Chain A
């Protein structure tokens, strides 16, 4: 399977990338890891006339930790994050990065590309919504910083104008006493999840939830903040009853579609189960426990 013909441009800097986007017009696309774009092009479901390769831009793959804010260059590969210090301090980031596809795809795919793609099943769009995340976009008019909630507009649709690129993803480090988890069920590794759930909890004391973020993935056109579920926990003890209420609310917030990965009804059930488990792990982590968490795969 081969992509339709295109012309290839290599950007040496962010500015050049933006300039190329301006010059080449609507039919040009940025290529980062290529792990979403190339499969689509091979199927000829995407056929850009020109590709602007940003992989050669120096420094775009760096990770910085500046005053409680983690800054990920757009080209930070999933694998970079998986093995980074940031993943240790903010475990939800590790859960997410380490659970995407397989080693090879993680070695290549980028955080910027993932958000720019806005795939409803994409893990970053889900996990980062459980944290305070903003996306830095650079265009001919300069830079702007867009909160993630506003960045992803719809399935495969973002706030980026055609002439803008993502340069950085900024994540506010969660406070002390906060813990999170990102869990998914996947049939196997090199596929998107059937459903995923991200939970970030901040505890007031050992068992009282001060703040909660609950995000559902793969069960709507974008990741879904289950705000009622969050409210079900906020300010309350993390007991069985409150967790059940939150899980039920999360299920109700899901709006899945049937496909090869599962029926809509089932995805709703599944996402509820994942939320419940993620709450459990997030709470333990919030209490300072180190918990190994990973996705579940069919059969094992």
Chain B
């Protein structure tokens, strides 16, 4: 098997407002880049086929599944991960709502769901039931049966509206 020349390349991003960089093989997935190279382990992996959304992060203002992006494709980008939501030790209203509504159990899906919720509320500050369901359709949760996730999102929307 002829191995192509896979020399490492430098990837620079801003993660949660901080400039970060690492030299990686081009095939490094964005999720691996975050977890293994930048040590941001809040972003998770739950599948191999772009189904579960445990790896969801925000790249340049839009959610993406970071398991389905090679790190160099995010070069120069602005990334938000779950670690970047709380400000000065205070939970973001979306985090607060999930915690308050028991919108999680094992918490493995939660970082991805929080970021999908951020995206949803940016687009639809007062989401309808259908918008909520479609907004998190790419995030699998195996624990909560989604009921409390819906509740959390409604609460987050209400709280953010107050601000």
Contact = CB atoms under 8 A, between A and B. Distances in A.
A107 B70 contact: no
A12 interface: no
Interface string B58-70: 0000111101111
A34 B69 contact: yes
A43 interface: yes
Given A49-B4, A102-B137, A43 B48 contact: yes
Contacts of B127: none
Nearest to A24: B4
Contacts of B116: 103-104
B29 interface: yes
Contacts of B135: 103
Contacts of A39: 48-50, 68
B4 A190 contact: no
Contacts of B5: 7
Nearest to A48: B4
B51 A7 contact: no
Interface string B117-152: 001100100000010001101110000000000000
A6 B48 contact: no
B93 interface: no
Which one of B50, B64, B116, B123 has the greatest number of beta carbons of chain A within 10 Å? B50
B64 A190 contact: no
B48 A103 contact: no
Given A5-B3, A50-B4, A42 B137 contact: no
B25 interface: yes
Contact of B48 (A8, A42, A83): A42
A8 B69 contact: no
A191 interface: yes
Interface string B70-90: 101101000000000000000
Interface in A28-42: 31, 34-35, 38-39, 41-42
Contacts of B69: 34, 38, 108
A113 B51 CA distance: 19
Given A6-B26, A189-B137, A107 B64 contact: yes
A2 B27 contact: yes
Can you list the 4 inter-chain pairs with the closest CB atoms, starting with the nearest?
A102-B138, A5-B6, A189-B137, A8-B26
Interface of B: 2-7, 9, 25-27, 29, 48-53, 56, 62-65, 67-70, 72-73, 75, 116, 119-120, 123, 130, 134-135, 137-139
Interface of A: 1-8, 10, 27, 31, 34-35, 38-39, 41-43, 49-51, 53, 55, 79, 83, 101-105, 107-108, 188-191, 294
